[in-house]
């Protein structure tokens, strides 16, 4: 029952919310499409929170995605024992960075008075959720060794079964509770994404890398302007 | 030749009395909102002083603007790669304390306070935390009129000799009103990873698209004038919009309109967009000349033809023709860009101040020898100071401008008194009688329609079939999360 909820209901609910709510928010009110930076009000602690958090979590996410996008390549790569140890160490280190960063971010919100006015319920929910996610991830990496390998033969085929709309719980049903918590947390974060400031991670500055430095908008030229 | 039009403001610093009427009218119209309390899109600083935000001119600290690197212009702070690496924390962004913590006063305490032995006071309340503030430590014009000069004015980066601040016999003071310069090579635009900041093609106004802005704050750091602000409530960047809703309908900006000293002029400049980059690669002291070179003569038929080809309308060409800004910046060359060495090619120009004219009591007799005005060499404000502020360190340019102003005053004074002066005085300063009279009119009695020649945007001729019904009044969206 719990398994069906976590591994069938939650992923599809999260996916549905992502697909339908995100564009709705994008087209209905983009004025809220920002990460709501608070660096302006408090910067010293933010540095020790935001930087480790973001770089840590980016590396960890990259590892998770690599397994899904290219399972065979990863399997071949990880067949080399030294590579396996190296990648697992990097992953664990990145996870620890993310955990330390997110705890720092939480302590910062708790202790800094000037941030009270810009801290909303969603900020607390996200912070606790992300800390829990990082902590369970580190627990799994530490006490359920070689996750990068077994991930390829359990979670990855499960993801593919999800994508083909024939979810097979057999791949993941026998894992201990901590793994299920980690999965549930991931789906919950995805489900909350379109409702919170997490939407900021859907925008990547790619045009910026290509464009000439100075951007013009001409009202008089067709296709080159929005109505403003 | 790639001719474009730009709306430009000129400030006559000689006439600024530092009344802050401009700041107040701007504040009341644009930034009297939550999250924007600390923003002054228009502010007036006392020079020498540290300004607002504190020490904004110090690019060793804030790393704003552009630098030359191997014959190319590069942002002083972060290129594209480093921008991606600094996405999560802005290393060079000023913090709230560099501006000031905005405050209001608890006036209700004045009549609600219980009876007591002390007079009740209106205590300061922070507009950010909502809490009582023990002490107000900073403000948008904290060092106004040289207050605390030993702490603030001595830090002015333009001051060659900061001991001058302590010497009342040599001390001087001027005001510097500042808005966004709507630069031709804006560092804020180039630094924006969201591509939310853009320069409007038609009038050159630099705007932040609030829907596209993701609040990454690179613009706030990259602008060397610190004229892009971060709204702590909405999480997005905001800046001076050159009052475009007013200028589009032919009115001048609110700051210029409310100016008590009538120091501001607004008009159209035509410039060659293809020559901007090359001009900015010149040496610091060549930059003013390079600026002037980029600005085109609106009377030149070739320029007009090229402008028409680029879609500049006849109405805009006519405005460029009569532009008071063209007269001051190029024709008479008395208005200078603020810190051209930041290499953004700012489009707000300043006429350096001539005052204070009497350097000290005992000098009065010497002054009388040459007609009540001091010699250039005995001016109280050091030329090196003005040069650091307005000409990239080129003192000769400042001297030229001041010489013109002195000659103009001598000429008009003589005329008023029915005396004759040597014609060489005007000629040596690079003026003739007709020019002097035109400049005199612009400086003094020019009415609203001569100081401000702002053509309308003429939306009615721009794809009317697409435009009809597409804009107007509608339901305002919420700009922030509700608490």
Under an 8 A CB cutoff, do A219 and B202 touch? yes
The domain total for chain B is: 2
With tokens 């990880």, the residue in question is: A78
Q: In the beta sheet, which residues pair with residue B47? A: B174
Which residues between 173 and 192 in chain A have a beta carbon less than 8 angstroms from any beta carbon of chain B? none
Under an 8 A CB cutoff, do B479 and A31 touch? yes
Low-confidence stretches of chain B (pLDDT beneath 50): none
Distances (CA, A) of B89 to A136, B85, B408: 26, 9, 53
**Are residues B226 and B300 both part of a single domain?**
no
Under an 8 A CB cutoff, do A220 and B230 touch? no
Distance from CA of A209 to the nearest CA of B (A): 7
CB pairs under 8 A between A and B: 140
Under an 8 A CB cutoff, do A222 and B463 touch? yes
Under an 8 A CB cutoff, do A35 and B131 touch? no
**Are residues B379 and B319 both part of a single domain?**
yes
Provide the residue range defining the domain that includes B391. Answer: 255-451
Q: How far apart are the first and last CA of chain A?
A: 53
Under an 8 A CB cutoff, do A219 and B213 touch? no
On chain B, the residues whose CB falls within 8 A of the CB of A50 are 88-89
Q: Which of B249, B269, B297 is the last residue of a domain?
A: B249
Low-confidence stretches of chain A (pLDDT beneath 50): 223-228
On chain B, the residues whose CB falls within 8 A of the CB of A97 are none
Q: Are the beta carbons of B159 and B385 closer than 8 angstroms? A: yes
Q: Are the beta carbons of B2 and B448 closer than 8 angstroms? A: no
Distance from CA of B247 to the nearest CA of A (A): 15
**Are residues B197 and B168 both part of a single domain?**
yes
**Are residues B359 and B411 both part of a single domain?**
yes
On chain A, the residues whose CB falls within 8 A of the CB of B483 are 120
Among B89, B311, B457, beta carbon nearest to A46 = B89
How many Å apart are CA B443 and CA B156, to the nearest integer? 29
**Are residues B196 and B315 both part of a single domain?**
no
Decide if A202 touches B, using CB distance below 8 A. Answer: no
Query: And the tokens for A37?
Result: 């930076």
Distances (CA, A) of B214 to A127, A200, B3, B80, B207: 20, 7, 32, 17, 14
How many Å apart are CA B120 and CA B105, to the nearest integer? 12
pLDDT (0 to 100) of residue B311: 86
**Are residues B163 and B290 both part of a single domain?**
no
Decide if A26 touches B, using CB distance below 8 A. Answer: no
Decide if A216 touches B, using CB distance below 8 A. Answer: yes
**Are residues B436 and B305 both part of a single domain?**
yes
3-state SS record for chain B? CCEEEEEEEEEEHHHCCCCCHHHHHHHHHHHCCCCCCCCCCCEEEEECCCCCCCCCCCHHHHCCCEEEECCEEEECCCCHHHHHHCCCCCCCCCCHHHHCCCEEECCCHHHHCCCCCCCCCCCEEECCCCCECCCCCCCCCCCHHHCCCCCCHHHCCCCCCHHHHHCCCCCCCEEEEECCCCCCCCHHHHHCCCCCEEEECCCCCEEECCCCCCCCCHHHHHCCCCCEEEECCCCEEEECCCCHHHHCCCCCCHHHHCCCCCCEEEEEEEEEHHHHHHHHCCCHHHHHHHHHHHEECCCCHHHHHHHHHCCCCHHHHHHHHHCHHHHHHHHCCCCEECCHHHCCCCCEEEECCCCCCCCCHHHHHHHHHCCCCCCHHHCCCCHHHHHHHHCCCCHHHHHHHHHHHHHHHHHHHHHHCCCCCCHHHHHHCCCCHHHHHHHHHHHCCCCHHHHECCCCCCHHHCCHHHHCCCCCCCCCCCCCCCC
Under an 8 A CB cutoff, do B80 and A54 touch? no
Determine the Cα angle at B128 with ends B122 and B134, to 5°. 45
pLDDT in tens, A40-82: 999 999 999 999 999 999 999 999 999 899 988 888 888 888 9
Q: Which of B249, B268, B302 is the last residue of a domain?
A: B249
Decide if A121 touches B, using CB distance below 8 A. Answer: no
**Are residues B193 and B80 both part of a single domain?**
yes
Domain ranges within chain A, ordered by starting residue: 2-210
Q: Which of B89, B182, B276, B474 to mutate to test the interface with A (most CBs of A within 10 A)?
A: B89
Q: Does any domain span residue B106?
A: no
Distance from CA of A39 to the nearest CA of B (A): 8
Find the CATH number of the domain harbouring B376: 3.30.70.20
**Are residues B176 and B320 both part of a single domain?**
no
Q: Which of A205, A206, A217, A227 to mutate to test the interface with B (most CBs of B within 10 A)?
A: A205
**Are residues B211 and B233 both part of a single domain?**
yes
On chain B, the residues whose CB falls within 8 A of the CB of A216 are 198-201
CATH of A2-210, one of 1.10.287.180, 3.40.228.10, 3.40.50.620, 1.20.950.20: 1.20.950.20
Q: Which helix (H) or strand (E) holds A221?
A: none
Strand bridging mode B236-239 / B228-231: antiparallel
**Are residues B244 and B294 both part of a single domain?**
no
Decide if A116 touches B, using CB distance below 8 A. Answer: yes
Query: Angle formed by the axes of helices B395-416 and B433-443, to 10°?
Result: 90
How many Å apart are CA B169 and CA B258, to the nearest integer? 34
Among B87, B96, B195, beta carbon nearest to A40 = B96
Q: Does any domain span residue B127?
A: no
Under an 8 A CB cutoff, do B212 and A30 touch? yes
Decide if A113 touches B, using CB distance below 8 A. Answer: yes
On chain A, the residues whose CB falls within 8 A of the CB of B233 are 118
Closest residue in B to A112 (Cα) is B129
Q: Which helix (H) or strand (E) holds A31?
A: none
Q: Does any domain span residue B483?
A: no
Q: Does any domain span residue B186?
A: yes
pLDDT (0 to 100) of residue A204: 87
Query: And the tokens for B280?
Result: 């900015």
**Are residues B168 and B273 both part of a single domain?**
no
For the question of an ipTM over 0.90, the answer is: no
């Amino acid at each position: 029952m719990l398994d069906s909820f976590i591994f069938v209901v939650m992923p599809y609910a999260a996916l549905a919310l992502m697909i339908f709510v995100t564009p709705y928010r994008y087209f209905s009110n983009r004025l809220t499409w920002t990460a709501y930076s608070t660096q302006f009000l408090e910067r010293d602690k933010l540095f020790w929170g935001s930087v480790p958090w973001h770089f840590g979590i980016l590396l960890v996410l990259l590892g998770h995605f690599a397994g899904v996008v290219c399972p065979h390549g990863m399997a071949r790569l990880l067949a080399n024992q030294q590579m396996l140890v190296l990648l697992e160490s990097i992953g664990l280190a990145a996870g620890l960075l993310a955990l330390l960063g997110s705890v720092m971010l939480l302590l910062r919100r708790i202790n800094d008075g000037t941030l009270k006015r810009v801290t909303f319920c969603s900020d607390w929910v996200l912070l606790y959720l992300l800390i829990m996610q990082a902590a369970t991830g580190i627990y799994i990496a530490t006490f359920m060794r070689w996750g990068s390998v077994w991930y390829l033969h359990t979670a990855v085929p499960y993801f593919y079964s999800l994508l083909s709309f024939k979810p097979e719980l057999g791949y993941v049903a026998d894992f201990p509770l901590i793994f299920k918590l980690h999965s549930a947390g991931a789906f919950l974060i995805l489900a909350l994404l379109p409702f919170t400031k997490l939407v900021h991670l859907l925008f990547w500055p790619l045009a910026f890398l290509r464009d000439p430095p100075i951007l013009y908008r001409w009202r008089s030229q067709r296709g080159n302007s929005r109505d403003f | 030749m790639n001719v474009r039009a730009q709306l430009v403001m000129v400030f006559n610093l000689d006439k600024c009395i530092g009344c802050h009427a401009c700041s107040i009218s701007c504040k009341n119209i644009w930034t009297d909102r939550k999250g924007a309390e600390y923003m002054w899109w228009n502010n007036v600083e006392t020079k020498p002083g540290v300004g607002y935000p504190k020490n904004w001119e110090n690019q060793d600290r804030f790393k704003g603007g552009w630098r030359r690197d191997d014959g190319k212009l590069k942002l002083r702070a972060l290129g594209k790669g480093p921008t991606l690496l600094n996405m999560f924390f802005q290393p060079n962004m000023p913090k709230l304390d560099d501006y000031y913590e905005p405050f209001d006063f608890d006036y209700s305490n004045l009549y609600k306070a219980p009876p007591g032995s002390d007079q009740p006071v209106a205590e300061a309340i922070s507009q950010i935390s909502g809490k009582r503030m023990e002490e107000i430590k900073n403000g948008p014009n904290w060092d106004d009129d040289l207050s605390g000069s030993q702490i603030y004015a001595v830090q002015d980066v333009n001051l060659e000799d900061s001991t001058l601040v302590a010497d009342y016999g040599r001390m001087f003071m001027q005001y510097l009103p500042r808005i966004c310069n709507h630069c031709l090579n804006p560092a804020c635009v180039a630094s924006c990873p969201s591509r939310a900041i853009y320069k409007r093609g038609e009038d050159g106004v630099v705007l932040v698209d609030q829907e596209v802005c993701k609040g990454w704050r690179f613009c706030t750091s990259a602008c060397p004038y610190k004229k892009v602000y971060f709204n702590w409530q909405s999480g997005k960047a905001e800046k001076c919009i050159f009052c475009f809703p007013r200028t589009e309908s032919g009115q001048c900006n609110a700051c210029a309109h409310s100016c008590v000293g009538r120091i501001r002029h607004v008009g159209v400049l035509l410039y060659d967009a293809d020559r901007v980059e090359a001009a900015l690669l010149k040496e610091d002291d060549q930059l003013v000349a390079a600026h002037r070179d980029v600005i085109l003569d609106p009377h030149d038929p070739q320029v007009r033809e090229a402008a028409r080809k680029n879609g500049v309308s006849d109405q805009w060409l006519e405005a460029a023709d009569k532009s008071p800004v063209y007269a001051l910046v190029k024709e008479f060359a008395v208005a200078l860009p603020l810190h051209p060495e930041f290499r953004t090619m700012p489009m707000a120009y300043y006429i350096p101040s001539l005052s204070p004219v009497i350097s000290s009591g005992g000098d009065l007799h010497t002054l009388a020898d040459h007609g009540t005005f001091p010699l250039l060499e005995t001016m109280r404000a050091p030329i090196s100071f003005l040069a650091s502020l307005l000409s990239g360190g080129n003192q000769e340019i400042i001297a030229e401008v001041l010489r013109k102003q002195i000659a103009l005053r001598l000429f008009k004074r003589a005329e008023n008194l029915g005396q004759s002066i040597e014609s060489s005085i005007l000629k040596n300063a690079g003026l003739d009688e007709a020019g002097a009279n035109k400049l005199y009119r612009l400086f003094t009695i020019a009415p609203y329609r001569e100081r401000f020649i702002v053509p309308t945007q003429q939306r009615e001729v721009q794809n009317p079939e697409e435009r009809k019904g597409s804009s107007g009044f509608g339901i305002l969206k919420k700009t922030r999360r509700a608490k």
